[in-house]
A and B are shown apart, each in its own frame.
Chain A
Amino acid sequence: MTVSNDLATSVAMPRNGNVPKIQRRNLARGFRQWWPYYLMMAPGLIFFVIFHYLPIWEAKIAFEQLRIIPPNIWVGIKHFQTLFSSPIFWQVLANTLILSTMKIVFFFPIPIIVALLLNEIRGGAFRKFIQSAIYLPHFLSWVVIAGVFIAVLSPSDGAVNDIIGFFGMQPVSFMTDTGSIRWVLVFSEIWRSAGWDSLLYLAAIIAIDPELYDAAEIDGANRWQKIRYVTIPGIVPTIATLFILNAGMFLNADLNQVINFSNDVVRSKIDIIDTYVYRIGLQTGEYSLATAAGLFKALLGMLMIVAAHLLSKRLTGKGVW
C-alpha cells in the first residue's frame, strides 16, 4: 500500500549520531567552528518551522471558537465533543478502518508472491522486462489512475464489462456501485503498487546466502521446497517489518486515492477521516470541527506509528527511521 519509496528507502534509517557533550564554555568556540554548517541548514530549518511547526501551533483552533474579529474564544474540548457525538464521524472512522483492513488482507500478500515468482525467472533481460512493466503504475498520479479505472470499468465500453458481456451477463457500473467501490479501491491499489512493493522483498531474497540454495540442492530439494525452506524463512524479517509498519499507518487510508474515486453515490462507503476533514473544513467552512477531527487522527496516528516503530525495532531490529 502506501509504504511507498518513503518507508522503502528508509528501512535503513539513521543510526543516532554520536554527539559529544559540549561544555558550556566551549559553545562559543563550537559556534565559531560550526557556523557555516548552521548557515547551510538555515533555509531547511526555516522551512520546517514555517510549514511544519507553525501548523502545529495553528491547530489550536480545534479548541477555539473562530470569530471574524479576533481574538478567538477558547472553548476547550467542545468541538471534540461535537465530533464524537456525530454519527458521520463514527461512520468515516469505520470506513477508514474497513478500507485499511481490506488493503492489509488483500493487498499485503501480493507483492510477496510477485517477488517469489520474479525470483524464479532465469533470464536477466526477461526479468527486467517484467519488472519495467509492473513497476510503472507506481509512478502515476491517482488522478491518472482514476482516469484509467473509469475507462477500464466503464459499463458501456470498458474492458471488464466487455469480458462480463462475453459471458452473457449484465454490465456493472463498478464506480457507482456501493457494493463494489471498496473493491475498486483495493484493486486500484494493487494495480498501482503491488509490482513496485515486490522490489523490497526481491531485495531481501537476493540478500539470502546462495550457499543455502546449494546445500538445499545437494539435499535434493525441488523448487517448492527451496522456496518453502530457504527463500521464505529468509524474507520473514522483511515481511514482519513491513507488516508492522503498514499496521502503523492504519489510519492513513489514502486521501489522494479516495478523493478521485469518490462520487455522490458511493461516498458513504469510502468517506474516510481525511476526506471528511477536507469536506467539512475547506468546503463547508467548519474549520474548528475539521481541525479537531484532523488532530484526533494525527494523535492516534502518531501513537500507532511510534508503537509500530518500537515493536518493529524490538522484533526485527529495523524501525521506521
Chain B
Amino acid sequence: MAAHNVRRTPLERLEYATIVSTLLFLVVLTVQPLLNLLAISFSDPGKVAGMSGLTVIPNGFSTEVWDLLINNSAVQRGLFNSIFITLVSTVLGVVLTALMAWALSRPGLPGRRVIFVFVLVTIVFEPGIIPDYFINKRLGLIDSYWSLILFKVVNAWYLIILVRFFEEVPKELIEASELDGANPFQIFWYVALPLAKSALATIALFYFVFHWNEFFRAMIYLNDQSKWPLQVVLRQFVVEGDKLAMVGVVDSNNYTGASQINIRALKAGMILLTIAPILAIYPLILKFFTKGTMSGALKG
C-alpha cells in the first residue's frame, strides 16, 4: 500500500508520526521494566538503594548479585529441577501427542469421531483441582516429579492442532509407501514425522513454555523444597517475600539490616534468571508461534 502515496501532506506525516510514537510507547512500557531489573541486578550492590524504577542504566557495575545467585544452592536445585521437568515432559508430550494425532488423522479409522468427542469433553469439563489432587495422591505422585511431567502430557488443544496438520498429508504419499510394503509405524516415522517438522517444533515450543512456566501444580504437589522448580523458588522469594527459603538461615544475616539493598538486586536477578531460558528460545518462539497462530487464524 505504501507505494501508492508517494506525496504525503503534512497532516498525513503527522498521523504517521502519531502512530509510530504510540507503538514505540507500548514498546517502552513492555521492555523498560525488564531493563530496569537488568540494570539493578548489574549495579554495584552498595549503590542499589535509591535507584529509580525508571532507570535502565546500572549504577556502577558489579556481577556480585549474579555470582551469589549462581552459587546459591536453592537456585541451583531449582534450575536443575526446572530443566529436568521441562525437558522430560516436552519430549514425552511431543512423542505421545504426535503418535495419537497421526492415528486420529487417518480417515476411516473406526471410532475416530467418538475419540474426538472423548477428547473435547476434557476441554469443556474440568472438575477442578481437588479431584485432580486426589488422583495424584492415589497414584503416589505427591512429591514426585511425575505429578508435573504427566500433567497435560497430551494437551488436548495441541493434539487437535497436530491432527489438523496431519490431515493435510497427501493421501498419495501414504498409498505409495503402503505399496512399497511399509507398515503403519514406518509410515509414521519416515513419512508423517519428516513432513510435520515445523508443526512438531511448534508443539515442542508450546510444551516447553507451558512446563517451564508452570508453578501452581509444583506448589501443591511438591512439599519437598529440594524438588521445587525455579518458578516456585522465585515465587517464595519475590511474591511471598520469604528471604530464608532463598538465602538460607545461616546466610540470612549477610542480607538483612544494612545490606537490605542486596535483596532488591537479588530479586531482580532472580526474576531475570527465571526468564532467561524463554529469552534464549524467543527467536524460535517468534518464528513458530507466530506462523502457527497466523495460519490457524487464516485457515478458519
Q: B-contacting residues of A (Cβ < 8 Å)? A: 5-6, 8-14, 16-20, 22, 27, 30-31, 34, 36-38, 40-41, 43-45, 47-48, 50-56, 58-59, 61, 114, 117-118, 120-122, 129-137, 139-144, 146-148, 150-152, 154, 157-163, 191, 195, 199-200, 202-204, 206-207, 210, 213-214, 217, 222-223, 238, 255-256, 259-260, 274, 277-278, 281-282, 287, 290-291, 293-295, 297-299, 301-302, 305-306, 318, 320-321
The residue of chain B having its C-beta at the shortest distance from the C-beta of A241 within the complex is: B300
CB distance from A202 to the nearest CB of B (A): 8
The residue of chain B having its C-beta at the shortest distance from the C-beta of A293 within the complex is: B128
Cβ contact within 8 Å between B234 and A147: yes
The residue of chain A having its C-beta at the shortest distance from the C-beta of B219 within the complex is: A259
Judge if B23 is at the interface, Cβ distance under 8 Å: yes
Instruction: Please provide the 4 A-B residue pairs with the shortest distance between their CB atoms, ordered closest to farther.
Output: A294-B128, A159-B53, A44-B100, A141-B213
Other-chain contact of B113, A17, A159, A203 (Cβ < 8 Å): A17
CB distance from B146 to the nearest CB of A (A): 11
Residues in B244-279 with C-beta less than 8 Å from chain A: 264, 267-268, 270-271, 274-275, 278
Chain B residues closer than 8 Å to A34, beta-carbon distance: 109-110
A163 and B32 alpha carbons, distance in the complex (Å): 14
CB distance from B70 to the nearest CB of A (A): 19
Chain B interface category by residue count: 35 or more
Cβ contact within 8 Å between A37 and B109: yes
Cβ contact within 8 Å between B238 and A146: yes
A-B contact pairs, 8 of them (CB 8 A): A16-B113, A58-B127, A142-B215, A147-B238, A200-B293, A290-B128, A291-B131, A298-B126
Other-chain contact of B231, A40, A133, A143 (Cβ < 8 Å): A143
Q: 6 additional contacts, CB 8 Å, given A19-B113, A191-B30?
A: A11-B297, A20-B108, A37-B106, A41-B99, A120-B16, A122-B2
A11 and B212 alpha carbons, distance in the complex (Å): 25
A274 and B160 alpha carbons, distance in the complex (Å): 26
Given contacts A143-B274, A223-B15, whether A58 and B183 have CB atoms under 8 Å apart is no
A302 and B213 alpha carbons, distance in the complex (Å): 26
Residues in B14-36 with C-beta less than 8 Å from chain A: 15-16, 19-20, 22-24, 26-27, 29-34, 36
A297 and B124 alpha carbons, distance in the complex (Å): 11
A13 and B231 alpha carbons, distance in the complex (Å): 32
Cβ contact within 8 Å between A12 and B134: no
Other-chain contact of B23, A43, A121, A158 (Cβ < 8 Å): A121
Chain B residues closer than 8 Å to A282, beta-carbon distance: 129-130, 133, 220
Cβ contact within 8 Å between B27 and A11: no
The residue of chain A having its C-beta at the shortest distance from the C-beta of B210 within the complex is: A5
CB distance from A278 to the nearest CB of B (A): 6
A259 and B218 alpha carbons, distance in the complex (Å): 14
The residue of chain A having its C-beta at the shortest distance from the C-beta of B49 within the complex is: A157
Chain A residues closer than 8 Å to B286, beta-carbon distance: 131-132, 135
Judge if B209 is at the interface, Cβ distance under 8 Å: yes
CB distance from B289 to the nearest CB of A (A): 7
Chain A residues closer than 8 Å to B270, beta-carbon distance: 147
Stretch of B61-69, B148-156, B169-177 contacting A (4+ beta carbons < 8 Å): B148-156
A276 and B113 alpha carbons, distance in the complex (Å): 37
Other-chain contact of B19, A120, A195, A222 (Cβ < 8 Å): A120
Cβ contact within 8 Å between A36 and B271: no
Other-chain contact of B134, A22, A61, A117, A306 (Cβ < 8 Å): A61
Chain B residues closer than 8 Å to A293, beta-carbon distance: 128
Other-chain contact of A259, B2, B183, B216, B300 (Cβ < 8 Å): B216
Cβ contact within 8 Å between B33 and A144: no
Chain A residues closer than 8 Å to B120, beta-carbon distance: 321
Chain A residues closer than 8 Å to B106, beta-carbon distance: 37
Cβ contact within 8 Å between B37 and A287: no
